[in-house]
Chains A and B, each alone.
Chain A
Amino acid sequence: MATKTQNPKAWLFVLPVVALVAFNALIPLMTVVNYSVQETFGDNVFFWEGVKWFEQVLHSERFHASLLRQLMFTSIILTIEVPLGVAIALSMPKKGVGVSVCLVLMALPLLIPWNVVGAMWNIFALPDIGLLGRMINGLGIDYNFTQQPGAAWFTTVMMDVWHWTSLVVLLAYAGLRSIPDAYYQAAKIDGATPWAVFRFIQLPKMKRVLTIAILLRFMDSFMIYTEPFVLTGGGPGNTTTFLSIDLVKIALGQFDLGPAAAMSLIYFLIVLLLCWIFYTLMMRHEAQ
């Protein structure tokens, strides 16, 4: 057995990365940790508060309500966007000029900045001048997203579906394209039904990319801020106040830095935890 030699010089090579991570992740995070356990009255005067802010946030009904809204929003958009994305990917052409046309059309919403999407949908859905708003009202349905919680939810969900289904489509399409033609031929020879082809060839072959798609959509939608903020501002009332909107209200609106910092950490841990559970479940399923 060769003895393991330790060369202290090796640390030098790791140093740049350590410095970078420290500056862009560790130090900001520690600032938040710092705020979350102390009370400050300005002038950089701090008082130790222990876990008081954490207890306060975890027991506040307001936090529970935004968390619930957040979970609901994420579940709704996942249940719409993933099947819809897969369905669109399945119906996209496999060759010819149609492919590029479809891909460009699909990529367009992804290229639009988030606040522009919010502003676009705001104007689009306005009941008096917006195309969508006027159309819905024209159909005899009373629709005003600035006043009705249901309409506000509907519009927010529609906006997210419009903006992000493309991501699922593109990933699912890439997964589909990687299936060799021979699989379809084999299925045809076996006499498999279109459903069987989807269930036993396409879906299993798309599993990896769909895992990524679901994970990305989950994280993004769970941290959504800009679009609903521009569209509804969290209203009417606070019916569309999701976690991040609530957080900003506490931190910058009320300037409660302690609770806001504690909430940030809890928020961060929830995202991390859910992603981990999600990923582990999917990987375990794959391993079977």
Chain B
Amino acid sequence: MTLELRHVSKRVGAEIHIYETSLEFREDGFNILLGTTLAGKTSLMQLMAGLERPTSGEIWFGGKNVTGVSVQKRNVSMVHQQFINYPNFSVFENIASPLRVARLTRAEIDRRVGEVSEMLRLTPMLGRRPSELSGGQQQRTALARALAKDSDLVFLDEPLANLDYKLREELRDELPRLFRDRGCTVVYATSEPTEALLLGGYTATMHEGRITQFGETATVYRQPADLLSARVFSDPPINTATVTKKNGRFVLSDAVSWPATGDREALKDGRYAVAIRPHHVTPFAQEKNDVRIDGRVLVTELSGSESVVHFDLGGQTWISQSHGIHAFEVGARASFYVDTGQCMYFGEDNALLAA
């Protein structure tokens, strides 16, 4: 069923938590809310779930205005970042609790709990209490409760954030599969761009109480509507600078400039904000249209297969991300190569002009 926000806003006291927002979520695939902490993901979810009432606007679900409808009557489920289970219920009772409230028959409850616990590999743990489970199992119990309820609308509020890396990967792979054939609308909040990309579906980028863009995840990633959306959807942070276009070239500094090719030729002369993702700034030349820039190395982070180097470029911190281990001396000057073909250009109002 369709979930739609019509001019929804939320204000608490003098603080605006959600600015006026209109949006229609998709029924197929995950709807991902991507934004940093305090971007308003949880606030928006609580409005949509019916835990809070919007200050203005309407929420429509399945063609009906549900703005004033209480949460119990909406048939929604939610999984939180913390592992929320009833502490003195067994896993079975935890999964069954919403079904008991709904007064299903014993046979039906047994059937549904059996089905979802099989799916989430909880069957051997059904007799245990949440405190006897690992974090991953506790969160799977919470997920099982949401699944067993067979809601029309499921909210997953950073469900993997408190899990360790290995479990997170495992559950992340399972999640889309679990919800695929259920015919429910899923809204998934995360603060990690990588997670959004891995889950696919549709992504809404959020920043300080506003949805900056909504669309297919890959499209939002490749063609951010504005600089803000590009920033939200980049990890490590996207590199930005101001360039001036004249004589068919983009000029960053006296020493650094590159030709405007393709549809960028059409851009008028003037100042533009340029953004480039860290993995298109490498310590070695890769393609013909690479432009060399020099900076002072500030921080280097080496992981097993990657080097992330923060460097100072004319007063701004830029980041280079590349495969392999590249040693840099902190404080030394180093050269990096920008794949200018991947640069995104934004106008005065920060809207995307060319990518």
Contact = CB atoms under 8 A, between A and B. Distances in A.
Interface of A: 180, 182-183, 185-186, 188-192, 200-201, 204-205
Contact of B51 (A188, A191, A200): A188
B98 interface: yes
Contacts of A201: 86-87
B46 A190 contact: no
The 6 closest A-B pairs by CB, nearest first: A191-B72, A182-B80, A204-B87, A191-B101, A190-B98, A186-B84
Given A180-B82, A200-B88, A204-B87, A185 B98 contact: no
Interface string B69-108: 0011000111011101011110000000110011000000
B49 interface: yes
B86 A180 contact: no
B80 A190 contact: no
Contacts of B82: 180, 182
Contacts of A183: 84
B345 to A, nearest CB: 42
Contacts of B86: 200-201, 204
B78 A185 contact: yes
A191 B98 contact: yes
Contact of A205 (B76, B78, B87, B145): B87
Contacts of A190: 97-98, 101, 145
Contact of B77 (A180, A189, A200): A189
A124 B58 CA distance: 59
Contacts of B78: 185-186, 189
Given A182-B80, A185-B46, A189-B51, 5 more contacts: A186-B142, A189-B78, A200-B86, A200-B88, A201-B86
Contacts of A205: 87
9 contacts: A183-B84, A185-B49, A185-B78, A186-B78, A189-B78, A190-B101, A191-B72, A191-B102, A200-B88
Interface in B35-79: 46, 49, 51, 71-72, 76-78
Q: How large is the interface on B (under 10, 10 to 19, 20 to 34, 35 or more residues)?
A: 20 to 34
Contacts of A204: 86-88
Given A189-B49, A190-B97, A190-B101, A182 B84 contact: yes
A185 B72 contact: no
A180 B84 contact: yes
A188 B88 contact: no
Given A180-B82, A182-B80, A182-B82, A188 B87 contact: no
Nearest to A187: B86
B87 A186 contact: no
Given A191-B72, A191-B98, A191-B101, A186 B80 contact: yes
A288 to B, nearest CB: 9
A192 B84 CA distance: 14
Contacts of A192: 97, 101
B72 A188 contact: yes
A272 B98 CA distance: 45
Find the residue from A180, A188, A191, A201 having the highest chain B CB count within 10 A: A191
A282 to B, nearest CB: 14
Contacts of A186: 78, 80, 84, 142
A276 B252 CA distance: 77
Contacts of B71: 188-189
A19 B189 CA distance: 60
Contacts of A189: 49, 51, 71-72, 76-78, 98
B238 to A, nearest CB: 32
B85 to A, nearest CB: 8
B84 to A, nearest CB: 5
A239 B302 CA distance: 79
Contacts of B142: 186
A185 B101 contact: no
Nearest to A183: B84
A204 B94 CA distance: 14
Find the residue from A182, A188, A201, A205 having the highest chain B CB count within 10 A: A182
Nearest to B101: A191
A200 B97 CA distance: 11
A181 to B, nearest CB: 9
